[in-house]
Structure 1
């Protein structure tokens, strides 16, 4: 069974491709390599024993997307990761995010909705909830005005898919609203390697510890949280990859209750920035150089998942601890730097 993975050479995409191939699916990756590396393709092969098919495609190019689906006519499902993903960058360059994240989705939906039958998993985000009124956050929590354009593109993306599913009975879709992915594969062959300065906490921690960055900046020490720093739900990326396979199989096996569903994907536990730093120092034996600075635009104080629906309805749950995720992130960083 052929599965298309857009953005499949990226951080989460590559780990999901590994899990798909481990389950016997034939994977076709499209990626424009704007925030990924072609070397990941060989590393996926080293892990799984099979190299996925790859096409360099920019999903913002409508004709190119159309040509791709004329070439590959027997795709049974799509997992859509391809998007710009950095909250603070989206504040600085909103039009880039609206063009890349929404146009690509629309062109993709135009093609898949024309198929006789199609299963689609959308890479959404907990940012759709904004600053929640109650924690942990359930799927029934209101979708609030987004704090940043990135979150807004995920909100709008979900609306576009839901509206399309209403009038397209042959299209079944699930949006996975996941929380903060961290860590890397146990082989240290794939992991999170940002191009340029990291936007996410954990790679900044590991790059600081290994000497690439002089100092980690903790944005905000005066939030209304247990230690004044932001609280997030950090999920091991391998657990997250497996969640995508579980969701896809729910659709392929016709176990979905409606043709559009939403699930939170997280651990159900909130960890503060200081707790993440403490976890890293504990597993690595390294003392981290960091400073506390002003809050960053677009950040909410605390967000972590209620995972009951994912556990009981989807049949998935996170297995790895924060310490295990941090250990795998550190193993990956040392492998990348040859240490």
Structure 2
């Protein structure tokens, strides 16, 4: 019973191979027609025109470089993947951390206000849509940023297809960065997407992803970029996934509803309830353990006794506890009480379109048995 199973059916595999064959026949292996089609077809899902790049991390770094964060502070949620903060560091920024709020799993507005008071030089604020949930608190966060003239960057790595009050992830900030890594709800094997506020900024994204080249055919470069291109092969995989994304999302929602229906029978386990107005994409199914239950012990018992693997946490280690940032003198975890509680208490049940009802019941039965022993 794996935590994740990525499945391409026969039709999807044929579509990918046909598209790759077209690219090989044409000789256009990067920045070609597959990429252009992929960018056009993701636009309805991300709410505005977007550029595809080599990874979600590249998308973030490009956004930070366009903003111009070098030598200044970027505020980042303390509960996120290392890449969120590392992208700002690579762009030359110093990062500081902000606590999360537990209702929408987003940036805590009060903690953000305190961080802004500490740092008069903030170049950007970053929000992360944890587990595919767009926190309603983003409205307050965005208003605070607008009032201070600070760009807001959405790390929407988890949130392709998620919406808040009908508006898609990627439309709440100045820039919206998406990951297409294999574990995400939409994948191109490796890749990312970046939305921008307007045509001029999007043109800069496209130049930066190709070493600052003024035009693909030209040998002229007007800014230092990097090799952040998405290949035609990766775009072909993304197009095949995109064709099936709506059906896969409906399947995730149905599976999440089945967990909702049966989770009450598991002693001590409390489900996370998505806030009103949020349409999450089903990237993660979150639940909370009771006090005193060690997650590592539970996961080991589930694997050993039942062959059940839980999905990865989001996240179990706060950024302030990562070795790189502890060496930089990061504040201790006690300064972020809400994120610290969340990191210690949540689990993620396996949730992917090909999981069966029997496998879900097996997961729930295993949790029921082991939590009865541990509680």
Compute the TM-score of the two structures, normalised by the length of structure 2.
0.24
Task: Report the structure number with the largest CA radius of gyration.
Answer: 2
Structure with the higher strand share, 1 or 2: 1
Structure with the higher helix share, 1 or 2: 2
